[in-house]
Chain A
Amino acid sequence: AQSVTQLDSHVSVSEGTPVLLRCNYSSSYSPSLFWYVQHPNKGLQLLLKYTSAATLVKGINGFEAEFKKSETSFHLTKPSAHMSDAAEYFCVVSPQKITGGTSYGKLTFGQGTILTVHP
Chain B
Amino acid sequence: NAGVMQNPRHLVRRRGQEARLRCSPMKGHSHVYWYRQLPEEGLKFMVYLQKENIIDESGMPKERFSAEFPKEGPSILRIQQVVRGDSAAYFCASSPPLQETQYFGPGTRLLVL
Number of residues from A at the complex interface, CB < 8 A: 27
In the complex, the answer to whether A107 meets B45 with C-beta atoms within 8 Å is: yes
In the complex, the answer to whether B59 meets A106 with C-beta atoms within 8 Å is: yes
| B17 close to chain A: CB less than 8 A | no
Bound: A38/B16 CA distance, A: 31
On whether A51 and B100 interact (CB within 8 A), knowing A44-B91, A109-B43, the answer reads yes
Stretch at the interface among B65-73, B79-87, B101-109: B101-109
Across-interface contacts of A98 in B (CB, < 8 A): 55
On whether A105 and B103 interact (CB within 8 A), knowing A111-B41, A111-B42, the answer reads no
Bound: A49/B102 CA distance, A: 11
**Could you tell me the distance in whole angstroms from the C-beta of A72 to the nearest C-beta in chain B?**
19
Contacting residue for B100 out of A90, A94, A111, CB 8 A: A94
In the complex, the answer to whether A42 meets B106 with C-beta atoms within 8 Å is: yes
Bound: A110/B35 CA distance, A: 13
Residues of A with Cβ closer than 8 Å to B? 32, 34, 36, 41-46, 49, 51, 90, 94, 97-98, 101-112
Residues of B with Cβ closer than 8 Å to A? 4, 31, 33, 35, 41-45, 48, 50, 55-56, 58-59, 91, 93, 95, 97-107, 109
| 5 smallest beta-carbon distances between A and B, as pairs | A106-B45, A43-B106, A104-B100, A44-B104, A102-B97
Instruction: Known pairs A104-B95, A107-B93; list 10 more (Cβ under 8 Å).
Output: A36-B104, A42-B106, A43-B91, A90-B42, A98-B55, A103-B95, A106-B56, A106-B58, A108-B45, A109-B44
